[in-house]
Structure formats: C-alpha cells, structure tokens
Amino acid sequence: MTTSFTPVTPNQVVPRIREAVLPADAGPLVAIIREYVRWLDMDLSYRGFEEEMQSFEQTYTWPSGVFFIAQADGELAGCGGLLRHSDEVAEVKRLYVRPAYRGLALGEQLMMRVIGKARSSGYAKLVLDSVPQTAFAQRLYERLGFTETAPYYTNAVAGTRFLELRL
C-alpha cells in the first residue's frame, strides 16, 4: 500500500486551529475581536460589547464559553467562539478571519471546531446573528446547515439575520 502526500512548499501557509488558552490568549483575542468590530463599522454597545470585552476571560472560560484561534505563519489569523445560553442552546460568537488570510478556508475550519465542541458538549442547537456586512459568512453558515430562526434579542441592526443549526 502506498500513501501519497502533498509536500508543503516554503511559501505555503499551513493554518492551525486550536482552542484558546485563557488568560494567555485573552489580550490577542480581544484585539482581533476589536479589529473585527472596526471592520464591521458598527456600534455594538446595544449588545453590551464593552462589558463582554471587559469580562472576556470569565465569559469565555469553559463551561460558559470557549474561543478557537486560527494561526497561520505564526500569526493570529482568525477566531470564532461559542457562548452558552442554556443547557440546550449555545451561540456562535465573533467568527472573523483577517483579510490577509481569507481564501484558506479558515472560517469553515473554525466553524467546524465550534460545531464539534457544541455537539460534544450536548447542546441541541446553535444560534447566531449575522449582519449585512457578513454576507460571505452567511453563505458559509447556510452550507453548514444553518437555517432562518426567530430573533433571540430585540433592537437588531436592520438586515440582521438570525440562524440556527439543530445538532
């Protein structure tokens, strides 16, 4: 039996997805999340964004939540989180891939880790909200099986889509 493999060339980016380790990863994660919010060009104060960032380590320490980090070329290339809502429901949080690392399927890899963690943790459903600026991510969510659902908070930005995935 022969095994084939594709050698990695010196200029090829080899991404790696890992679970964040807090508090060590908190600073870089908060920085990339703030970068994401600047990219969205939105005021997220209506969702308690500053409070979330101030309590990041407590909020995203298991079992209340977790973040995954995408690394490429030794750099933080993207992130995606999971936040507990109840024993049955968790929310996908802050999926973001930096522009320089798009096209490497990092968003999909991050989502697969989030979905896998939700399944292995016994959640029945994942929910997320997606604003108009994230149209590319919305297509990814649909490919992964997410479907429209009722809003799970009020005063959403116009055009926000609420999606769910039954696990």
Quick check: 124 and 159 in contact, CB under 8 A? no
Q: Enumerate the domain spans of the chain.
A: 16-166
Q: What is the pLDDT of residues 88-146, one digit of tens each?
A: 999 999 999 999 999 999 999 999 999 999 999 999 999 999 999 999 999 999 999 99
Strand intervals (E) in the chain: 16-19, 65-72, 75-84, 89-97, 125-130, 147-148, 161-166
Over residues 75-80, mean pLDDT:
96
Respond yes or no on whether the N-terminal peptide bond of residue 63 is cis (omega within 30° of 0).
yes
β-partners of residue 93 are 81
Superfamily of domain 16-166: Gcn5-related N-acetyltransferase (GNAT) (3.40.630.30)
Quote the pLDDT of residue 11: 56
Quote the pLDDT of residue 73: 86
- What span, in angstroms and rounded, lies between the C-alpha atoms of 47 and 94? 13
Identify the residue whose tokens are 């039954």: 166
CA angle 91, 93, 96 (to 5 degrees): 145
Over residues 66-72, mean pLDDT:
96
pLDDT of residue 9 exceeding 60, the answer is no
Task: Give the predicted TM-score (pTM) of the model.
Answer: 0.89
Spatial strand order in the sheet of 161-166: 16-19, 65-72, 75-84, 89-97, 125-130, 161-166, 147-148
